[in-house]
Amino acid sequence: MTSPGEVGKRAFGMQLEVHAAHFLCAQGMSLLQRNFQCKLGEIDLIMREGNTLVFVEVRFRRSNSHGHACATVDWRKQRKLQRAAQVFLLRSGLRDQLPCRFDVLGITRDPLSGALRFDWIPAAFTLDVQR
């Protein structure tokens, strides 16, 4: 895998999302959609685990020396993800059909091998429905 400077930040992020999707599929989830976008925000991965719809935010940090990648999903980002998820649910006709959760997948590189490390937090937060 290349680094952000070699292929551009957006392309690097897309590569990471592919790796993240493979990791989550290996955990028994299935991929429904990548990079759902609307005016209110973007959702990196939309997965399904059994009867649960899972919205996944993927975060990368070169190292944990300045904090963990998962810790960068603050309340503002959570609110954007929740709002984008509500748009997805309305557009797809799945609102009130399936239970939903939000996972955060932090990715870092092993300092010695350079291999990707995945830190998965299932149900990091929930859908705060405001009707």
DSSP assignment of 65-126 equals TT--GGGG--HHHHHHHHHHHHHHHHHHT-TTTS-EEEEEEEEEE-TTT--EEEEEEEEEE-
Domain-embedded: residue 131: no
Q: Is residue 112 a part of any domain in this protein?
A: yes
Task: State how many domains the chain has.
Answer: 1
This prediction's pTM: 0.84
Q: Is residue 40 part of a domain?
A: yes
Q: Flag the least confident range among 25-34, 78-87, 109-118.
A: 109-118
Mean pLDDT of 122-130: 75
Residue 52 counted as domain residue? yes
78 within some domain: yes
CATH of the domain at 64: 3.40.1350.10
Tell me, yes or no, whether 130 lies in a domain: no
CA–CA separation, 27 and 33 (whole Å)? 17
pLDDT, tens only, 30-70:
999 999 999 999 999 999 999 999 999 999 876 555 556 67
Give the domain range for residue 10.
4-125
Matching residue, tokens 């797809």: 92
